[in-house]
Amino acid sequence: MKFKNDHAKKNEFTPLEIIQEMEKRRDMMMIDVREPVEVKICHIENARHIPMGEIPAKIDELPKDKDLVVFCHMGVRSKQVMNYLRKNGFTRVYNLKGGIDRWSVEVDSKVQRYR
């Protein structure tokens, strides 16, 4: 993210940081890398769902000219996806710290929490 030009230094952003940035601009894409069964439980509106295992096959569908915010349940799988995308030429990809679980706590309590 272009947060005060510190995007090269920071790999993760909290849900509150992400939502503040989303209010300012539209050139961001949220990517949900959870499994379909998890997405049925809850989701973030307008996020694109690409399960982690499908990322390599769909990498060419992802824009390199947008900030990509990758998330999963708690932030572990999405961090792996972020690292994979960075190794494959994506410079504007970030992890949602704490995943959709933290999003539910900090941003939108209507997003159901699960274990």
Catalytic residue (choose from 33, 62, 72, 96): 72
CA-CA distances (angstroms) from residue 98 to 24, 74, 95? 22, 5, 9
Q: Which residue type is seen at 76?
A: V
Q: How many Cβ atoms from other residues are within 10 Å of residue 40's Cβ?
A: 9
Cβ 29 vs Cβ 44: under 8 Å: no
Name the residue type at position 115: R
- Please confirm, yes or no, whether 72 is among the known catalytic residues: yes
Name 71's bridge partners. 32
- The two structure tokens encoding residue 51: 């399960």
**Catalytic machinery residues:** 72
